[in-house]
Amino acid sequence: MKKIIIYLFLLLSLTTPVFADDSIDLGESETSILYETSMDSSSEPIINSKNVIVLDRKTLLPLYEKDAYSKVAMASTTKILTCIIALENCALNEVVTVSKKAATVSGSTLGLTSNMKLSMNDLIYGLMLRSGNDCAIAIAEHISGSVEDFSVLMNQKASSLGLTNSNFVTPHGLDNPNHFTTAYELAILTDYALKNQKFLEIVSSKTYTISLNGYPRTLSNTNELLGTTQGVYGVKTGFTFEAGRCLVSACKRNNLDIIVVVLGADTKRIRTKDSLSLINYTFNTYKYVNIESTLNSSFNNYLSYFENSYYLEKTLDKPILELATIDNYTFPLSDTDSLNLHTQIYTIDSFTPNIKPGSVVGKLHLYCKDKLLCEVDIIQRNQLIKNDWKYYFKNIFKCYK
Structural domains for the chain: 19-24+43-285 (3.40.710.10), 290-380 (2.60.410)
Question: Across the strands, what pairs with 362?
Answer: 347, 378
Q: What is the Cα–Cα distance from 81 to 164, expressed in whole angstroms?
A: 15
Q: What is the Cα–Cα distance from 120 to 97, expressed in whole angstroms?
A: 10
Q: Which amino acid is at 198?
A: K
Quick: pLDDT tens for 63-100. Answer: 999 999 999 999 999 999 999 999 999 999 999 999 99
Contact 232, 250 (CB under 8 A): yes
Question: Across the strands, what pairs with 118?
Answer: 96
DSSP secondary structure letter of residue 357: T
The residues near 361 (Cβ < 8 Å, ≥ 6 apart) are: 319, 321, 347, 348, 351, 355, 378, 379, 380
Q: What is the Cα–Cα distance from 145 to 140, expressed in whole angstroms?
A: 7
Q: What is the Cα–Cα distance from 219 to 368, expressed in whole angstroms?
A: 45
Q: Which amino acid is at 274?
A: D
> For residues 291, 293, 297 and 299, what is the CA-based torsion angle, rounded to 10 degrees?
60
What pLDDT score does 338 carry? 85
Task: Give which of 83, 271, 54, 48 is closest to 172, Cα–Cα.
Answer: 83
Quick: pLDDT tens for 123-147. Answer: 999 999 999 999 999 999 999 999 9
Its pTM stands at 0.85
How many H helices and E strands in the chain?
A: 12, 17
DSSP secondary structure letter of residue 188: H
Q: What is the Cα–Cα distance from 311 to 349, expressed in whole angstroms?
A: 6
Per-residue pLDDT of the chain (401 residues; tens, 9 = 90+): 555 555 544 444 444 344 445 554 444 444 344 444 455 556 789 999 999 999 999 999 999 999 999 999 999 999 999 999 999 999 999 999 999 999 999 999 999 999 999 999 999 999 999 999 999 999 999 999 999 999 999 999 999 999 999 999 999 999 999 999 999 999 999 999 999 999 999 999 999 999 998 899 999 999 999 999 999 999 999 999 999 999 999 999 999 999 999 999 999 999 999 999 999 999 999 999 999 999 999 999 999 888 888 888 888 889 999 999 999 999 999 988 988 899 999 999 899 999 999 999 999 999 998 889 999 999 999 999 886 655 555 656 565 55
Q: What is the Cα–Cα distance from 51 to 262, expressed in whole angstroms?
A: 6
Quick: pLDDT tens for 10-24. Answer: 444 444 344 445 554
Looking from the CA of 389 toward its CB, the CA atoms found within 13 Å total: 0
What pLDDT score does 396 carry? 62
DSSP helix/strand/coil, 390: helix
Q: What is the Cα–Cα distance from 220 to 208, expressed in whole angstroms?
A: 7
What pLDDT score does 17 carry? 43
DSSP helix/strand/coil, 252: strand
Q: What is the Cα–Cα distance from 217 to 273, expressed in whole angstroms?
A: 31
Q: Which amino acid is at 322?
A: E
Task: Give which of 294, 260, 331 is closest to 58, Cα–Cα.
Answer: 331
Q: What is the Cα–Cα distance from 153 to 192, expressed in whole angstroms?
A: 16
Q: Is 288 exposed, middle or buried (0-12, 13-18, 19+ CB in 10 A)?
A: middle
CB atoms within 10 A of CB 144: 18
Looking from the CA of 263 toward its CB, the CA atoms found within 13 Å total: 29
